[in-house]
Chains A and B, each alone.
Chain A
Amino acid sequence: MSLLLEIHQSPAVYLVLAALLLAIGLFGLIRRNTLVGMLISGELIFGAAMLNLMAVNRFFAPDPTVGHVFILFIMGLSAAEVAIALSIVIAVYRNYRSIRTGDIAEMQG
Protein backbone atom coordinates (compact mmCIF):
# COMPACT_ATOMS: atom_id res chain seq x y z
CA MET A 1 0.00 0.00 0.00
CA SER A 2 2.85 2.37 0.74
CA LEU A 3 4.04 1.76 -2.81
CA LEU A 4 0.85 3.29 -4.13
CA LEU A 5 1.16 6.26 -1.80
CA GLU A 6 4.71 6.96 -2.98
CA ILE A 7 3.98 6.42 -6.66
CA HIS A 8 4.48 10.06 -7.58
CA GLN A 9 7.93 10.08 -5.99
CA SER A 10 9.47 7.14 -7.77
CA PRO A 11 11.61 8.03 -10.81
CA ALA A 12 10.98 4.67 -12.49
CA VAL A 13 7.28 5.48 -12.93
CA TYR A 14 8.07 8.67 -14.83
CA LEU A 15 10.75 6.99 -16.95
CA VAL A 16 8.43 4.12 -17.91
CA LEU A 17 5.67 6.60 -18.70
CA ALA A 18 8.02 8.56 -20.96
CA ALA A 19 9.13 5.35 -22.69
CA LEU A 20 5.47 4.41 -23.26
CA LEU A 21 4.74 7.84 -24.71
CA LEU A 22 7.76 7.52 -27.02
CA ALA A 23 6.60 4.07 -28.16
CA ILE A 24 3.07 5.32 -28.85
CA GLY A 25 4.44 8.29 -30.79
CA LEU A 26 6.76 6.05 -32.81
CA PHE A 27 3.90 3.66 -33.57
CA GLY A 28 1.76 6.55 -34.79
CA LEU A 29 4.60 7.94 -36.87
CA ILE A 30 4.91 4.62 -38.72
CA ARG A 31 1.18 3.89 -38.86
CA ARG A 32 -0.25 7.20 -40.05
CA ASN A 33 -0.08 8.05 -43.70
CA THR A 34 -1.26 11.63 -43.64
CA LEU A 35 1.21 14.42 -43.02
CA VAL A 36 -0.81 16.01 -40.20
CA GLY A 37 -1.20 12.66 -38.43
CA MET A 38 2.55 12.09 -38.58
CA LEU A 39 3.14 15.60 -37.21
CA ILE A 40 0.88 14.90 -34.22
CA SER A 41 2.80 11.70 -33.49
CA GLY A 42 6.01 13.70 -33.67
CA GLU A 43 4.63 16.04 -31.04
CA LEU A 44 3.99 13.03 -28.79
CA ILE A 45 7.64 12.05 -29.19
CA PHE A 46 8.68 15.58 -28.18
CA GLY A 47 6.46 15.20 -25.11
CA ALA A 48 8.12 11.91 -24.23
CA ALA A 49 11.55 13.54 -24.45
CA MET A 50 10.42 16.38 -22.21
CA LEU A 51 8.95 14.05 -19.59
CA ASN A 52 12.09 11.90 -19.56
CA LEU A 53 14.45 14.87 -19.19
CA MET A 54 12.26 16.43 -16.54
CA ALA A 55 12.18 13.20 -14.48
CA VAL A 56 15.97 12.87 -14.66
CA ASN A 57 16.28 16.56 -13.83
CA ARG A 58 14.02 16.26 -10.77
CA PHE A 59 15.58 13.17 -9.26
CA PHE A 60 19.19 12.93 -10.39
CA ALA A 61 20.51 16.35 -11.40
CA PRO A 62 22.45 18.50 -8.95
CA ASP A 63 21.24 21.75 -10.57
CA PRO A 64 17.54 21.59 -11.58
CA THR A 65 17.58 24.90 -13.49
CA VAL A 66 19.57 23.32 -16.33
CA GLY A 67 16.73 20.89 -17.03
CA HIS A 68 14.18 23.69 -17.05
CA VAL A 69 16.19 25.62 -19.63
CA PHE A 70 16.54 22.43 -21.68
CA ILE A 71 12.77 21.85 -21.64
CA LEU A 72 12.14 25.44 -22.71
CA PHE A 73 14.58 24.85 -25.57
CA ILE A 74 12.67 21.71 -26.63
CA MET A 75 9.35 23.56 -26.49
CA GLY A 76 10.75 26.34 -28.69
CA LEU A 77 12.03 23.75 -31.14
CA SER A 78 8.72 21.90 -31.29
CA ALA A 79 6.78 25.13 -31.83
CA ALA A 80 9.14 26.09 -34.66
CA GLU A 81 8.81 22.60 -36.12
CA VAL A 82 5.02 22.80 -36.11
CA ALA A 83 5.06 26.20 -37.84
CA ILE A 84 7.40 25.03 -40.60
CA ALA A 85 5.76 21.61 -41.03
CA LEU A 86 2.25 23.04 -41.29
CA SER A 87 3.29 25.63 -43.84
CA ILE A 88 4.84 22.81 -45.87
CA VAL A 89 1.59 20.83 -45.49
CA ILE A 90 -0.40 23.78 -46.81
CA ALA A 91 2.02 24.22 -49.73
CA VAL A 92 1.83 20.50 -50.57
CA TYR A 93 -1.96 20.56 -50.38
CA ARG A 94 -2.09 23.50 -52.80
CA ASN A 95 -0.05 21.59 -55.36
CA TYR A 96 -1.42 18.06 -54.97
CA ARG A 97 -4.90 18.57 -53.43
CA SER A 98 -3.95 15.81 -50.98
CA ILE A 99 -1.81 15.35 -47.88
CA ARG A 100 -1.57 11.57 -48.06
CA THR A 101 2.03 10.46 -48.14
CA GLY A 102 1.25 7.93 -50.91
CA ASP A 103 -0.03 10.63 -53.27
CA ILE A 104 3.02 12.85 -53.07
CA ALA A 105 5.65 10.19 -53.75
CA GLU A 106 6.48 11.48 -57.21
CA MET A 107 10.21 11.01 -56.92
CA GLN A 108 10.18 7.35 -55.93
CA GLY A 109 12.32 5.09 -58.14
Chain B
Amino acid sequence: MNPFPASEYLIPLVFLLFAGATIGGALIAVFTKWIIRSVCGLAMASVGLAGMFYFLHSPFLAMIQILIYIGAVCITIVFAIMLAEPDEPQDGYGQHSVPWNLGAGIVAAAVFWGIARLGVTGDWPTPAVRVSDGGVEMIGVALLTKQSLALEIVALILLVSILGALAVARKGRHIE
Protein backbone atom coordinates (compact mmCIF):
# COMPACT_ATOMS: atom_id res chain seq x y z
CA MET B 1 0.00 0.00 0.00
CA ASN B 2 1.41 3.35 -1.03
CA PRO B 3 1.55 6.12 1.56
CA PHE B 4 -0.50 9.22 1.05
CA PRO B 5 1.39 11.58 -1.33
CA ALA B 6 3.44 14.23 0.48
CA SER B 7 2.41 12.77 3.83
CA GLU B 8 5.74 13.74 5.37
CA TYR B 9 4.73 17.38 4.96
CA LEU B 10 1.48 16.85 6.80
CA ILE B 11 2.94 17.11 10.32
CA PRO B 12 4.86 20.37 9.70
CA LEU B 13 1.77 21.74 7.96
CA VAL B 14 -0.44 21.02 10.97
CA PHE B 15 2.25 22.47 13.23
CA LEU B 16 2.40 25.67 11.21
CA LEU B 17 -1.39 25.83 11.24
CA PHE B 18 -1.46 25.72 15.04
CA ALA B 19 1.43 28.18 15.34
CA GLY B 20 -0.39 30.53 12.98
CA ALA B 21 -3.59 30.16 15.00
CA THR B 22 -1.69 31.04 18.17
CA ILE B 23 -0.03 34.15 16.79
CA GLY B 24 -3.00 35.22 14.63
CA GLY B 25 -5.42 34.80 17.52
CA ALA B 26 -3.15 36.80 19.81
CA LEU B 27 -2.87 39.59 17.21
CA ILE B 28 -6.66 39.67 16.81
CA ALA B 29 -7.04 39.77 20.60
CA VAL B 30 -4.74 42.77 20.85
CA PHE B 31 -5.53 44.83 17.76
CA THR B 32 -9.27 44.60 17.22
CA LYS B 33 -11.49 47.49 18.28
CA TRP B 34 -14.41 45.38 19.47
CA ILE B 35 -13.78 43.67 22.77
CA ILE B 36 -15.97 40.68 21.84
CA ARG B 37 -13.72 39.95 18.84
CA SER B 38 -10.82 40.20 21.21
CA VAL B 39 -12.29 37.32 23.22
CA CYS B 40 -12.69 35.32 20.00
CA GLY B 41 -9.01 35.98 19.29
CA LEU B 42 -8.15 34.68 22.76
CA ALA B 43 -10.14 31.51 22.05
CA MET B 44 -8.30 31.07 18.74
CA ALA B 45 -4.95 31.52 20.44
CA SER B 46 -6.01 28.93 23.02
CA VAL B 47 -6.78 26.39 20.29
CA GLY B 48 -3.35 27.06 18.82
CA LEU B 49 -1.71 26.66 22.22
CA ALA B 50 -3.55 23.36 22.72
CA GLY B 51 -2.07 22.18 19.42
CA MET B 52 1.38 23.27 20.59
CA PHE B 53 0.93 21.22 23.76
CA TYR B 54 -0.04 18.25 21.63
CA PHE B 55 3.17 18.61 19.65
CA LEU B 56 5.08 18.84 22.94
CA HIS B 57 3.94 15.31 23.83
CA SER B 58 1.19 16.18 26.28
CA PRO B 59 -2.30 15.57 24.89
CA PHE B 60 -3.58 15.76 28.47
CA LEU B 61 -2.61 19.40 28.78
CA ALA B 62 -4.02 20.11 25.32
CA MET B 63 -7.39 18.86 26.50
CA ILE B 64 -7.19 20.81 29.76
CA GLN B 65 -6.19 23.94 27.83
CA ILE B 66 -9.31 23.80 25.66
CA LEU B 67 -11.49 22.87 28.64
CA ILE B 68 -10.30 25.70 30.90
CA TYR B 69 -9.43 28.49 28.48
CA ILE B 70 -12.23 28.18 25.96
CA GLY B 71 -14.79 26.54 28.21
CA ALA B 72 -14.28 28.62 31.32
CA VAL B 73 -12.12 31.72 30.83
CA CYS B 74 -13.53 32.92 27.49
CA ILE B 75 -17.12 32.23 28.52
CA THR B 76 -16.63 34.11 31.80
CA ILE B 77 -15.15 37.09 29.95
CA VAL B 78 -18.11 37.04 27.55
CA PHE B 79 -20.45 37.19 30.55
CA ALA B 80 -18.54 40.17 31.92
CA ILE B 81 -18.75 41.92 28.54
CA MET B 82 -22.50 41.37 28.44
CA LEU B 83 -22.82 42.94 31.88
CA ALA B 84 -20.33 45.79 31.68
CA GLU B 85 -19.54 46.86 28.14
CA PRO B 86 -21.35 49.31 25.87
CA ASP B 87 -22.41 47.84 22.54
CA GLU B 88 -20.82 50.34 20.21
CA PRO B 89 -17.19 51.37 20.52
CA GLN B 90 -17.25 55.17 20.50
CA ASP B 91 -14.61 57.30 18.85
CA GLY B 92 -11.28 56.76 20.50
CA TYR B 93 -12.78 54.21 22.84
CA GLY B 94 -10.25 51.72 24.07
CA GLN B 95 -7.35 53.51 22.47
CA HIS B 96 -4.44 55.61 23.61
CA SER B 97 -2.61 58.23 21.56
CA VAL B 98 -0.21 57.32 18.77
CA PRO B 99 3.05 57.99 20.71
CA TRP B 100 1.72 55.81 23.53
CA ASN B 101 1.08 52.94 21.10
CA LEU B 102 4.51 53.48 19.54
CA GLY B 103 6.10 53.25 22.99
CA ALA B 104 4.16 50.06 23.69
CA GLY B 105 5.40 48.60 20.40
CA ILE B 106 9.00 49.48 21.24
CA VAL B 107 8.77 47.92 24.70
CA ALA B 108 7.16 44.76 23.28
CA ALA B 109 9.74 44.49 20.50
CA ALA B 110 12.60 44.90 22.98
CA VAL B 111 11.18 42.18 25.24
CA PHE B 112 10.66 39.88 22.27
CA TRP B 113 14.15 40.43 20.96
CA GLY B 114 15.77 39.85 24.33
CA ILE B 115 13.88 36.71 25.26
CA ALA B 116 13.93 35.18 21.78
CA ARG B 117 17.69 35.76 21.63
CA LEU B 118 18.15 34.08 25.01
CA GLY B 119 16.04 31.14 23.86
CA VAL B 120 17.84 30.65 20.55
CA THR B 121 21.44 31.25 21.59
CA GLY B 122 21.19 29.89 25.13
CA ASP B 123 23.29 26.88 26.02
CA TRP B 124 20.50 24.51 27.04
CA PRO B 125 21.63 21.25 28.62
CA THR B 126 20.16 18.05 27.24
CA PRO B 127 19.36 15.59 30.03
CA ALA B 128 21.35 12.37 29.94
CA VAL B 129 18.46 10.24 31.09
CA ARG B 130 14.70 10.72 31.42
CA VAL B 131 13.16 9.24 34.52
CA SER B 132 9.61 9.12 33.12
CA ASP B 133 7.67 9.73 29.93
CA GLY B 134 5.30 12.31 31.41
CA GLY B 135 2.15 10.30 30.77
CA VAL B 136 -1.16 10.87 32.53
CA GLU B 137 -0.49 8.02 34.97
CA MET B 138 2.81 9.57 36.01
CA ILE B 139 1.15 12.99 36.44
CA GLY B 140 -1.53 11.46 38.66
CA VAL B 141 1.01 9.65 40.81
CA ALA B 142 3.15 12.78 41.09
CA LEU B 143 0.16 14.94 42.04
CA LEU B 144 -0.69 12.63 44.93
CA THR B 145 2.84 11.96 46.16
CA LYS B 146 5.74 14.26 45.33
CA GLN B 147 3.72 17.30 44.20
CA SER B 148 0.79 17.02 46.59
CA LEU B 149 1.60 20.39 48.18
CA ALA B 150 1.07 22.10 44.78
CA LEU B 151 -2.30 20.39 44.44
CA GLU B 152 -3.36 21.54 47.90
CA ILE B 153 -2.23 25.11 47.23
CA VAL B 154 -4.15 25.25 43.93
CA ALA B 155 -7.24 23.99 45.73
CA LEU B 156 -6.82 26.67 48.40
CA ILE B 157 -6.28 29.41 45.80
CA LEU B 158 -9.41 28.41 43.90
CA LEU B 159 -11.45 28.35 47.11
CA VAL B 160 -10.22 31.78 48.16
CA SER B 161 -10.80 33.21 44.69
CA ILE B 162 -14.37 31.90 44.57
CA LEU B 163 -15.11 33.40 47.98
CA GLY B 164 -13.39 36.66 47.03
CA ALA B 165 -15.27 36.90 43.72
CA LEU B 166 -18.59 36.33 45.48
CA ALA B 167 -17.81 38.88 48.17
CA VAL B 168 -16.61 41.57 45.73
CA ALA B 169 -19.44 41.11 43.23
CA ARG B 170 -22.13 41.04 45.91
CA LYS B 171 -21.06 44.18 47.72
CA GLY B 172 -22.44 46.83 45.35
CA ARG B 173 -25.74 45.12 44.80
CA HIS B 174 -28.93 46.95 45.76
CA ILE B 175 -32.48 45.78 45.69
CA GLU B 176 -34.32 48.40 43.72
Chain A positions within 8 Å of B, measured between CB atoms, are 4-5, 7-8, 11-28, 30-34, 36-37, 39-41, 43-44, 47, 50-52, 54-73, 75-84, 86-95, 99-100
Q: Please report the C-alpha to C-alpha distance between residue A89 and residue B85 in the assembled complex, in whole angstroms.
A: 10
A69 & B142 in contact (Cβ 8 Å cutoff): yes
* 8 A-B pairs with C-beta separation under 8 A: A17-B22, A21-B45, A33-B95, A40-B41, A47-B49, A54-B56, A83-B165, A91-B171
**Which residue of B143, B157, B172 contacts A91 across the interface (Cβ within 8 Å)?**
B172
Q: Please report the C-alpha to C-alpha distance between residue A82 and residue B164 in the assembled complex, in whole angstroms.
A: 12
Residues of A near B104 (CB, < 8 A) are 26-27, 30-31
User: Of all chain A residues, which has the CB nearest B147?
Assistant: A69
A80 & B55 in contact (Cβ 8 Å cutoff): no
A17 & B95 in contact (Cβ 8 Å cutoff): no
A11 & B124 in contact (Cβ 8 Å cutoff): yes
Question: B38-64 toward A: CB 8 Å interface, digit per residue (1/0)?
Answer: 110110011001001101111011001
Verify if B175 is at the interface (C-beta below 8 Å from A): no
Report the minimum CB–CB distance from A87 to chain B (whole Å): 4
Residues of A near B41 (CB, < 8 A) are 40
User: Of all chain B residues, which has the CB nearest A15?
Assistant: B119
B12 & A7 in contact (Cβ 8 Å cutoff): yes
Q: Please report the C-alpha to C-alpha distance between residue A100 and residue B63 in the assembled complex, in whole angstroms.
A: 34
Chain B positions within 8 Å of A, measured between CB atoms, are 8-9, 11-12, 15-16, 19, 22-23, 26-27, 29-30, 35, 38-39, 41-42, 45-46, 49, 52-53, 55-58, 60-61, 64-65, 68-69, 72-73, 76-77, 79-81, 83-85, 93-96, 100-101, 103-105, 107-109, 111-112, 115-116, 119-120, 124-134, 138-139, 141-143, 147, 150-151, 153-154, 157-158, 160-162, 164-166, 168-169, 171-173
User: Of all chain B residues, which has the CB nearest A55?
Assistant: B56
User: Of all chain B residues, which has the CB nearest A88?
Assistant: B168
Residues of A near B45 (CB, < 8 A) are 21, 44, 47
Q: Please report the C-alpha to C-alpha distance between residue A43 and residue B120 in the assembled complex, in whole angstroms.
A: 24
A58 & B119 in contact (Cβ 8 Å cutoff): no
Contacts A11-B124, A75-B68, A79-B158: A19 and B116 contacting too (C-beta < 8 A)?
yes
